[in-house]
Structure 1
Amino acid sequence: VSISLHVYQPSSVFAWLVLQNSMVLSAAIFITLFGLIIYLHFVKVDQESLLVIGSLGIQVTSSYASGRESTTFIEMGQVKDVVINEAIHMQKVIYYLCILLQDPGDPQGVSEVVPLFQSSKPRLDCLIEVYRSCQEILEQRKTAPQSSGIK
């Protein structure tokens, strides 16, 4: 039976430690970059837009920092109203625009509340401008079928 005893030089131990640390550092950098790409692609909203067409519906588009876009369309027949809602968040009152969806079973009821501009969080004065524009279009939609039925 032979027993071998390896004697390591301090320089080889130092090289081994540097190599191990650089592998750990490389892995940490890779994981961080991968997480950043995922964040930019799926989470970080760069721009939000709202397009209201009285005869068709409401289109909500979110553009992400990666360039990806997410679009949701709500048919006008589902829209009961557009409102400004308020909530308390972190000891502060915040305002946000919401679309109230009509309950198909109960015409007076609301089946769902769809919040808008959740990432950009515009100020109240901006929300009021958007709200008024939406209300104008919704009002035109309500009066349009009545005027066409009179003809």
Structure 2
Amino acid sequence: MMNSNQKMDYENINGVTLSLKVDTPNGATNSRLFTISYKSKPNKSSWPKASLFLAILFNMIAIFYIRISLTAIVVIIVVLSFLVFFWITHSVQSEILLVIPTVGIQSSVKYVYGREDHFVPWSSVDDVIINEVIKMNRVLYFLTVLVKTSNQESESLKLMPLFKYTKPRLAMLEIIYSELQRLLTETHCPEPEKAAGDMG
């Protein structure tokens, strides 16, 4: 079992250093708050910035030195604005997992501007697994929550992968997995009650 308020550093699958922080929110001994964030700026973020800068530079040169119609200038400005907006809203800073037994699991993605939350009630959580995914010539591991979904005809399971953007390595996922399994086991298998005749 991992102590609360601990912080560890690992590399993700791309070699970028991640920081894993485990907290106990509001003194609730059974709850856990897992935060995975970039310890330093990811190397890949320099490419979008450089591409954006070069795109603006070349378009400014084209506007001043080449005769372009007003329509083309408007299109260029709209495309550049979309690129800036996309970079601001889709650059992930950290991913957070809040686990409160008997209440639910909330997964959050924090962007440069804003955040996205996804909540699953505890009654819908069936299990937590580490899923193996083969992508191109690489084997990736994802911590995945099995969520029960029911319709009128039958009940099925839906996969909800966690930490999709930070992409931590297996060692970091195993730490979070063991804590989640412990919390699931404690709530699904409560301690046996004392027999009524044992009193006195």
Same fold (TM over 0.5): yes
Matches within 5 A, 1:30-41: 31-41=79-89
Q: Give the aligned length.
A: 129
Could you say which residue in structure 2 is the equivalent of 1:142?
188
C-alpha distance 28-134 of structure 1, shift in aligned 2 (>3 A): same
Contact in 2 for aligned 1:99/1:114 (Cα 8 Å): yes
Q: State TM-score, norm by structure 1.
A: 0.72
| Identity in percent | 29
Aligned to 2:145: 99
1:55: which partner in 2? 102
> 2-side partners of 1:80 and 1:31: how far apart?
44
Check conservation: 2:125, 2:145, Cα contact below 8 A.
Answer: yes
1:22 positional shift: 9.3
What does residue 136 of structure 2 align with? 90
Separation of aligned partners in 2, 1:91 and 1:104: 36
Partner Cα separation in structure 2 for residue 79 and residue 90 of structure 1: 30
Unaligned runs of 5+ in 2: 1-63
Which of 131, 151, 159 does residue 113 from structure 1 map onto?
A: 159
Structure with greater proportional strand content = 2
Distance change >3 Å, CA 149–CA 74, structure 1 → 2 = farther
Q: Which has the higher contact order (CA 8 A, sep 6+)?
A: 2
Match of 1:73 among 107, 116, 119: 119
Structure 1 gap ranges (5+): 1-16
The structure richer in helix per residue is 1
Partners of 2:119 and 2:66 in 1: CA distance: 54
For 2:65 and 2:102, locate their aligned partners in 1 and report how far apart those are by CA, in whole Å: 67
Paired residue secondary structure (2:168) = coil
The one-character-per-residue Cα deviations of 1:23-47 (angstroms, maximum 9, x if unpaired) are: 6567535521332213321x33221
Q: Which residue of 2 aligns with 1:7?
A: none
Q: Point out the more displaced range, 46-55 or 31-40.
A: 31-40
Name the counterpart of 2:67: 20
Displacement of 1:21 after TM fit? Answer: 4.4
